[in-house]
Amino acid sequence: MRDDANAEDVTLGRIETEVALLMRLGEATRRASGTAEHRVLDRAAYVILRHLAAAGPQNVSALATRLNLDGSTVTRQVSAMQRDGLIARTPDPADGRGTVISPTAAGLQRMAAVRAARTRLYGDILAGWTPDDRESLADLLHRLNDALESRTRRR
């Protein structure tokens, strides 16, 4: 039984190392990319715009909860994005005292440019992989993200 536990520890250690490398290399690859599309949005703005485009207008509190961020952090990011014309604030129909945030056409356009550039980049990086391997990677990454998200919700 101890051999199985040791093998599991080794596997989990490999996973931890690979995830750490993935995060570091993913960001380094984005920064080193020669295309301007990768730099038209910072990472935080891209994530916020992607979420708003998928989920629709939200107040800052709901956005912070969904992104697992502190409300003050999201407020600062949203303020900067509003100054840059990437998002708009409108009265919250559920609570007239509050506002909801939604992407502007310019914000959606920039997000689409970044997404397309990232898709092309990963297409190049994974060009030697079979379609089945790409699909498996996408499925496994989705499962990992779901597990990570579930864990953060329980805390």
pLDDT digits (tens, 9 = 90+) for 71-81: 899 999 999 99
pLDDT, tens digit, for every residue of 100-144?
999 999 999 999 999 998 899 899 999 999 999 999 999 999 999
Cβ(57)–Cβ(100) below 8 Å: yes
Rounded Cα distance between 75 and 61, Å, is: 9
Higher pLDDT, 143 or 32: 143
One-letter amino acid of 43: R
What are the C-alpha distances in Å from 22 to residues 15, 19, 79?
Answer: 10, 5, 30
73, 79 Cβ separation under 8 angstroms: no
